[in-house]
Structures are given as structure tokens and as C-alpha cells.
Amino acid sequence: MLVDFELIERARSGDDGAFNQVVQAYRKRILGTIARLIGRPEDVEDVGQEVFLRLYFSLDQLRTSEVFEPWLYRLTVNAAYDYLRRQRRRQESRMSDLSEQQVMMADAAAGGKRNVEEKRRTDIRETVDALLGKISEEDRILLTLKEVEGLSLKELEKIYRVNENALKVRLFRARQRVLKAYEASEPQEGR
């Protein structure tokens, strides 16, 4: 826990100052998770604000302060789902945006404007984003939480509200699907 239970209790009882402190304590971590879940750095703050907005108006539904973190992660996952669904609807226009972006990035790379390390990071991000784009939003979010965020099965159980066995099955299937997508993408990317 990044804050003590007493602060969460105060925020629950309507203390805006306490809520502000909770946001300040968690915002960086939540923004990082969102960045890795949605893969669009320019929209991370918007989605992050949506998460804390939902938190503000749903804090009174929180049973106890002990379950605050899984609750916050759950709100984060739901906001990421909603964002990804909206994105899918706007897929056509996004595709043209992306290609423009890629053209700009290629130009910048050709001009030697980026250093080698930055280029390596960008390549990894693009590879993983492309890979995650080939699986469903559910698989994408579950795998990111487990493999990238490093959440334990216990933590995931609280977030998804399912038992461990069901979660293991879901994870296994999601891993199989992403592995299949990875294998399929390998020859095209010349790996």
C-alpha cells in the first residue's frame, strides 16, 4: 500500500484533501499501468483522469480500505477496456494516424535524430504493441497485468473476482494465443 488505511477512510468520508493525497500517491503507478495497457502515450493522462474520476464517485461503495488497491486496479482495467473498445470503433482513422506516425518516425530515424537506445526502445514498444493488437482486449489486458506489470495470481483473483483455477485457464489460453500471433509475426518481421 502506498498510503495508510486512515487516509483512504478519510477520502471515503468525503475529505477532498485526503482524496488529493491518494491521487498524488497512486497517479504515477496508475499512469504507468495504463501506458502499458493501452499503448498510446498521448492518451494516458486522459484515461488516468477517468480512473480517478470513477474512483472519486465510487469510493463510498468500497467495503473496506484493505481492498483499495485491487479496487483501483479494477477501475484501471475497466477504463482501459472502455478506451480500447472506443479505439477499435475508430480503427480506420487510427490506422491512418499510425501510418503517418510511422512515416514521421522513419524520417526521424533516417535523419539520425534519435539515439540508438531510444530507437531500440521504440522498436520494442512497436513490436509488443503490434503483437498485442492481434489478440483480444481481454487477453491483452490480462497478459499485460501478469507478464508486464508482474501482478500475482492472488492479486489478479481480487481484480477479476474469479477463482485461481479459472484464472489459470484464462491465462494459459491467452498465452497460447499471443504465442501463436508471435510465431506468425516472426517471418514477416524478418526475425
Which positions lie near another protein, rule CB under 8 A? 20, 23-24, 27-29, 31-32, 35-36, 41, 44-45, 48-49, 52-53, 56-57, 120-122, 124-125, 127-128, 131, 147-150, 178-179, 182-183, 186
Q: Are 131 and 181 in contact (CB under 8 A)?
A: yes
Cβ distance to another protein smaller for residue 74 or 125: 125
Q: How far apart are CA 171 and CA 68, in angstroms?
A: 24
What is the smallest separation between the CB atom of 171 and another protein, expressed in angstroms? 13
Comparison of 41 and 92: residue with beta carbon closer to another protein: 41
Residue 92 or 183 having the CB closest to another protein? 183
31 by DSSP, 3-state: which? helix
Rounded CA gap, 20 and 15, in Å? 9
Query: Would you say 108 or 128 has its CB closer to another protein?
Result: 128
Least Cβ distance, residue 92 to another protein (angstroms): 26
Q: How far is the CB of 31 from another protein (least distance, A)?
A: 5
- C-alpha Rg value of the chain to the nearest Å: 19
Give me the least distance between CB of 76 and another protein, in Å please.
13
Residues 6+ away with beta carbon under 8 Å from 86: none
Closest CA to 67 of 149, 21, 8: 8
